[in-house]
């Protein structure tokens, strides 16, 4: 029996040594069915949602709970519709499970968002938690109890003084988790128990959560769950310690007696991964299994297994150092989990899951980020993954994907999955769940489909999410049942992008269904099959059985799959160049620009605008809703490289801009370019300053204190700081850890004031050169962009020991003449006490990854050992050689002395190395102006042509007044001159005309230079030039 209970749903190196025990060797196969059997305990829920339930129209459904014969939904929504009638019913609503009818008498008035709901054990009441302060006109801060009819239970009061995120009920107590530190006037740090009838705080439950390591430096409890006997509480949280003992990510608490105690169960998985996750734990949900033997945690935070963007199964028994039974990598955010006897159901923003039989402990390289916007996508892993759109079901024994793919269309994603005896409740912020437009909530109901003795259609092949090549025949196969005999099975195959259909003659065009082959025509059961080949694209196949009486399966079975083009499997690449990320626009009129490239040709670049405040995309009619994109203007459509631009007017608010290139064969960039911006006319970003220590100071202390100021006309909400070692890019993290450097929050004097001071003291750090960066965020959440942040350097030195010096002698600063697929580097290093080692960093500029010692390129920076001829000597020679693929490489070399100090500078020890054997440099021909020309003062028009043996991508112009040293800059001003991009008529071609017109320049003697840049980054080192005079 599935028990009613509720958890809320919101939102390496050492870890790779984990022993993954008890991995199952077989994957249970569960066919996709259009009308499943009614034996619920061992069946997957149906894939189609009911269509008779109310439609939540806006916001997000963050939780759904069965309360007696009702389903209660909560979230950030304000309106709900049924039968053509729209009701204003913010944050909480209910409908009857059997009929699907909205309970129009269930109308509590709640003043702010509700995050979580949990039913009283007998179903006569429901508890809600969130950000609200008032219910039905009475003060109820963050937690309240509603009667079954929706009215406020006035006998229960347990006011908390910050948001409540999770609830669980048992033993006559309500367990409460969240961001609060005080509840009912008593100190309880983020976790409490109160009397379920009165709300009085339980004096025997006081286990404070301390050490903030959640996103934004927060402690929160995102999920609470009780075992069936109500004796053990699972708390999923973002603190270091529970009741003074280290329990990172999750804790089990004994609540069987009058005094709650922390159980010895502990995993070190999330703790050990802190240096690799920026010192943050980003668990979002957890759930116990129906038999209480195990639980599963899910997390967000970027594709970084075994913790982030992954589901992890743990057994509940045992003490310290518990290892996971399995890790299931999802490549994108996970927000929700619940468990039935047959599956682990998960929801989030993910688009892929691990395929049955895929590599353990998980497919792909753990150091490569396959997530959105990271260059590579999970599709590069082939049959190791299957496509799943924000909803999925995992095999309990293995963590691999089951053949269940209803799909959802959320913007942020699926934030709630709740197993009930009748099926699965789903909440998200989109419009479609399980193939139907049901709004923000849907129920996948066992009673929504017929029993085993009715018309059923099953698809066994293709497996959902499978990837084929267009040269491979595709087998469509499955089974059908009909008590009166099967007459036929029809399939429909559609390209979901072009909206064309597979026709009976094998072409794509207008709609046709296809009658497939039956192995037992007129029988009550029969296998069916059909074989076809398809061009590259994303497809959906639907199947429906018909019986001899003309009746048909009421619901089509459905599966999505992908066909990769055999002739063009390389997707295009998209770059969003301007404006910089984080720009605050003081006008609603904005322009975006960038570039796109493809090996065959770029057909289109599309741009979309996601409203981060209202959780939807900007649509052509000005509304916020389902995804919509717009074609940009291409400089050179069809070329292998082109610039693009788009100008529009955006409403004020916080926006995420998403740009995706599409090539001439229809392949889309799998990792779109995206940046976030703020449109806020009249609201300038805050000003931030570092007051101490002084810039470029050298100190011998291992720890130092930063102080500074921040001001803003609206008020300063917070200050964020990053301290980064300039050699290995590590730095201090929250909790005192050292790991990959990132920004984190530091205390300000008075939050919300227009002028604040801030301070931060580092833990002990290794000697080295550190960059200090500081940003401020105002009360409207406007943050300094990169160019506006405070920045300075500090040197931590060893007393009496000079820092080493490194020289790269084998290559110039820019080396375009490497004619072999190999880097051979050499140089010297010196130190007053002795050189212990010389390290090199090899960065593939095209792939955006670092070379590791095992020859694999990954996201993380690694210092590689070179060969040193006389380690320990005050002067040494060093060398390093490695075979590489054709690409552009950035090389940095650092000497390390005998006390561990690195050379703080790569001046003279770096190289941009172009490894493209046989690729000639581009050339530049400048036609205007000509040498010696005398022109009137004003703008200078520059024109000509550039050439390359492969492709040209850019031209740059440099103009300098020979008397004053001044000239045009990239920002359109006159000052210290810079190289400025010109316009190409044929980017991506082997030749292109170019033109450029400068800003108005005063009279004087000028030198005008032009240089071509090819598609691989080679620069014309000769340059074209002309000396002219303006008068």
DSSP string, 708-776: EEEE-SS-EEEEEEEEEETTT-EEE-TTS-EEE---EEE-BSSTT-SEEEEEEE-----SEEEEEEEEE
The fold of the 15-448 domain, in CATH, is Methylamine Dehydrogenase; Chain H (2.130.10)
Which of 224-228, 378-382, 494-498, 897-901 is least confident? 378-382
- The token pair that represents 1026 in the structure block: 């002309």
Give the CATH number of domain 573-679; options: 2.60.40.650, 2.60.40.1180, 3.40.50.620, 3.30.300.130: 2.60.40.650
In sequence order, what DSSP letters do the residues of 662-720 get, joined into one string? Answer: EETTSPBPSS-EEEEEEE-TT-PPPEEEEEESPTTEEE--S--EEEEEEE-SS-EEEEE
Question: What's residue 372's pLDDT?
Answer: 59
The fold of the 923-1030 domain, in CATH, is Immunoglobulin-like (2.60.40)
CA 376/CA 379 separation, integer angstroms: 8
Q: Are 390 and 349 in contact (CB under 8 A)?
A: yes
CA 861/CA 865 separation, integer angstroms: 13
Question: What's residue 531's pLDDT?
Answer: 95
- The token pair that represents 904 in the structure block: 């703080």
Closest to 273 measured CA to CA, from 852, 848, 858, 740: 740
Question: What's residue 166's pLDDT?
Answer: 98
pLDDT beyond 80 at 240: yes
CA 261/CA 582 separation, integer angstroms: 46
Q: Are 696 and 201 in contact (CB under 8 A)?
A: no
The fold of the 805-915 domain, in CATH, is Immunoglobulin-like (2.60.40)
Closest to 949 measured CA to CA, from 867, 1016, 878, 882: 1016
Give 175-184 pLDDT, tens digit per residue. Answer: 999 999 999 9
CA distances from 848 to 130, 285, 818, 860, 1019 (A): 41, 32, 20, 10, 20
Question: What's residue 35's pLDDT?
Answer: 34
Q: Where does the chain hold its CATH 2.60.40.650 domain(s)? A: 456-564, 573-679, 687-796, 805-915, 923-1030
Higher pLDDT, 451 or 99: 99
Beta bridge mates, 657: 609, 675
Band (pLDDT 50/70/90 cuts) for residue 29 is very low
Band (pLDDT 50/70/90 cuts) for residue 950 is confident
pLDDT beyond 60 at 515: yes
pLDDT-above-70 percentage for the chain: 94
Band (pLDDT 50/70/90 cuts) for residue 786 is low
Residue 453 buriedness (CB in 10 A; 0-12 / 13-18 / 19+): exposed
Beta bridge mates, 677: 655
- The token pair that represents 1018 in the structure block: 């080679």
Domain covering 687-796: architecture:
Sandwich (2.60)
Give 391-411 pLDDT, tens digit per residue. Answer: 999 999 999 999 888 899 888
Mean pLDDT across the stretch 267-287?
A: 91
CA 143/CA 128 separation, integer angstroms: 6
CA 1005/CA 964 separation, integer angstroms: 9
Cis peptide before 929 (omega within 30 of 0): yes
- Give Cβ neighbours of residue 521 (< 8 Å, ≥ 6 apart): 486
pLDDT beyond 90 at 873: yes
Higher pLDDT, 665 or 855: 855
Mean pLDDT across the stretch 487-496?
A: 94
Which of 141-155, 304-318, 355-369, 417-431 is least confident? 355-369
Higher pLDDT, 466 or 658: 658
pLDDT beyond 90 at 67: yes
Domain 456-564 sits in CATH at: 2.60.40.650
Mean pLDDT across the stretch 423-445?
A: 94
Positive or negative CA dihedral for 15, 16, 17, 18? Answer: positive
Residue 853 buriedness (CB in 10 A; 0-12 / 13-18 / 19+): exposed
Mean pLDDT across the stretch 119-127?
A: 95
pLDDT beyond 50 at 4: no
- This prediction has a pTM of 0.73
Mean pLDDT, all residues of the chain: 89
Give 360-386 pLDDT, tens digit per residue. Answer: 999 988 877 787 554 457 877 877 888
Positive or negative CA dihedral for 551, 555, 559, 560? Answer: positive
Q: Report the 10 Å Cβ neighbour count for 535.
A: 17
Give 551-603 pLDDT, tens digit per residue. Answer: 988 778 888 888 877 666 667 888 898 898 888 888 899 999 988 888 788 89
CA dihedral 339, 344, 347, 348 (to 10 degrees): 120
pLDDT beyond 50 at 39: no
Q: Where does the chain hold its CATH 2.130.10.10 domain(s)? A: 15-448
Question: What's residue 114's pLDDT?
Answer: 98
């Amino acid at each position: 029996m599935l028990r009613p209970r509720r958890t809320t749903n919101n939102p390496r190196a050492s870890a790779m040594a984990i022993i993954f025990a008890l991995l199952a060797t077989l994957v249970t196969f569960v066919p996709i069915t259009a009308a499943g059997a009614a034996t619920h305990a061992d069946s997957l829920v149906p894939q189609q949602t009911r269509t008779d339930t109310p439609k939540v129209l806006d916001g997000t459904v963050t939780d759904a709970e069965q309360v007696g014969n009702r389903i209660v939904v909560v979230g950030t929504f304000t309106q709900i519709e049924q039968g053509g009638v729209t009701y204003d019913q913010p944050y909480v609503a209910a409908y009857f499970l059997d009929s699907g009818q909205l309970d129009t008498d269930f109308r509590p008035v709640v003043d702010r968002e509700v995050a979580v709901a949990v039913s009283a054990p007998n179903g006569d009441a429901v508890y809600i938690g969130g950000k609200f302060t008032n219910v039905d006109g009475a003060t109820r801060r963050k937690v309240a109890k509603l009667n079954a009819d929706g009215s406020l239970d006035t006998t229960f009061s347990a006011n908390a003084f910050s948001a409540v995120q999770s609830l669980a009920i048992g033993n006559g107590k309500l367990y409460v988790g969240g961001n609060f530190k005080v509840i009912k006037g008593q100190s309880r740090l983020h976790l409490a128990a109160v009397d379920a009838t009165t709300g009085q705080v339980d004096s025997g439950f006081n286990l404070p959560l301390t050490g903030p390591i959640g996103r934004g430096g927060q402690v929160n409890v995102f999920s609470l769950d009780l075992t069936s006997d109500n004796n053990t509480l699972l708390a999923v949280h973002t603190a270091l310690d529970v009741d003074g003992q280290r329990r990172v990510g999750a804790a089990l608490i004994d609540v069987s007696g009058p005094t709650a105690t922390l159980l010895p169960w502990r995993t070190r998985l999330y703790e050990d991964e802190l240096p690799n996750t920026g010192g943050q734990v980003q668990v979002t949900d957890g759930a116990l299994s129906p038999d209480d033997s195990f639980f599963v945690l899910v997390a967000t935070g970027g594709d970084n297994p075994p913790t982030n963007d992954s589901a992890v199964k743990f057994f509940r028994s045992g003490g310290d150092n518990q290892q996971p039974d399995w890790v299931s990598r999802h490549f994108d955010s996970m927000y929700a989990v619940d468990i039935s006897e047959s599956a682990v159901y998960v929801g989030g923003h993910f688009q892929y899951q691990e395929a049955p039989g895929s590599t353990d402990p998980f497919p792909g390289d753990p150091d490569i980020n396959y997530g959105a916007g990271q260059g590579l996508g999970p599709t590069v892993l082939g049959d190791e993954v299957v496509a799943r759109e924000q909803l999925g079901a995992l095999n309990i024994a293995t963590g691999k994907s089951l053949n269940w793919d209803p799909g959802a269309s959320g913007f942020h994603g699926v934030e709630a999955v709740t197993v009930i005896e009748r099926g699965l409740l789903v909440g998200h912020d989109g419009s479609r769940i399980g193939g139907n437009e049901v709004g923000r909530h849907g129920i996948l109901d066992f009673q929504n489909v017929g029993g085993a003795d009715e018309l059923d259609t099953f698809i066994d092949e293709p497996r959902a999410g499978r990837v084929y090549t267009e040269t491979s025949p595709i087998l469509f196969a499955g089974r059908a049942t009909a008590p009166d005999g099967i007459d036929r099975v029809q399939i429909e195959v559609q390209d979901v992008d072009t909206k064309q259909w597979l026709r009976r003659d094998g072409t794509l065009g207008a709609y046709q269904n296809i009658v497939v082959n039956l192995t037992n025509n007129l029988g009550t059961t029969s296998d069916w099959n059909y074989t076809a080949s398809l061009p590259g694209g994303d497809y959906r196949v639907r199947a429906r059985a018909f019986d001899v009486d003309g009746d048909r399966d009421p619901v089509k079975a459905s599966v999505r799959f992908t066909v990769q083009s055999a002739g063009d499997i390389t997707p295009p690449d998209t770059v969003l160049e301007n404006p910089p990320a984080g720009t605050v626009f003081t006008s609603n009129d904005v322009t975006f620009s960038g570039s796109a490239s493809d090996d065959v040709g770029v057909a289109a670049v599309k741009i979309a605008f996601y409203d981060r405040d209202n959780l939807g995309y900007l649509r052509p009619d000005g509304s916020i809703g389902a995804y919509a994109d717009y074609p940009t203007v291409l400089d050179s459509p069809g070329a292998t490289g082109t610039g693009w631009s788009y100008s529009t007017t955006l409403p004020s608010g916080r926006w995420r801009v998403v740009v995706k290139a599409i090539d001439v064969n229809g392949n889309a960039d799998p990792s779109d370019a995206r940046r976030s911006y703020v449109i806020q006319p009249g609201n300038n970003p805050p000003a931030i300053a570092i007051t101490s220590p002084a810039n470029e100071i050298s100190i011998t202390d291992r720890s130092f204190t930063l102080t500074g100021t921040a001001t803003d006309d609206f008020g300063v909400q917070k200050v964020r700081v990053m301290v980064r070692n300039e050699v290995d890019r590590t730095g201090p993290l929250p909790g005192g850890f050292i790991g990959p450097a990132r920004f984190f929050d530091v205390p300000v004097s008075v939050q919300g004031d227009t002028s604040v001071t801030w301070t931060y003291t580092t833990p002990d750090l290794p000697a080295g050169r550190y960059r200090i960066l500081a940003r401020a965020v105002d009360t409207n959440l406007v943050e300094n962009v990169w160019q506006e942040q405070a920045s300075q350097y500090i040197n931590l030195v060893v007393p009496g020991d000079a820092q080493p010096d490194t020289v790269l002698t084998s290559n110039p600063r820019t080396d375009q003449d490497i004619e072999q697929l190999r880097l051979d580097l050499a140089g010297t290093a010196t130190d007053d006490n002795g050189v212990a080692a010389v390290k090199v960093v090899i960065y593939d500029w095209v792939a955006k990854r670092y070379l590791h010692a095992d020859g694999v390129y990954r996201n993380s920076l690694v210092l590689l050992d070179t060969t040193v001829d006389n380690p320990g000597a005050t002067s040494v020679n060093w060398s390093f050689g490695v075979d590489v693929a054709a690409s552009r490489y950035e090389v940095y070399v650092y000497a390390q002395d005998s006390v561990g100090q690195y050379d703080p500078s790569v001046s003279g020890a770096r190289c941009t190395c172009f490894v493209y054997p046989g690729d000639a440099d581009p050339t530049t021909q400048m036609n205007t102006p000509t040498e010696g020309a005398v022109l009137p003062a004003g703008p200078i028009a520059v024109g000509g042509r550039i050439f390359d043996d492969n492709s040209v991508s850019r031209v740059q112009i440099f103009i300098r007044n020979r008397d004053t040293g001044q000239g045009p800059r990239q920002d359109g001003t006159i000052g210290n001159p810079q190289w400025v991009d010109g316009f190409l008529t044929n980017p991506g071609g082997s030749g292109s005309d170019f033109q450029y017109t400068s800003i108005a320049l005063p009279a004087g003697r000028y030198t005008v230079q032009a240089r071509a840049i090819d598609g691989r980054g080679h620069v014309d080192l000769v340059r074209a030039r002309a000396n002219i005079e303006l008068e």
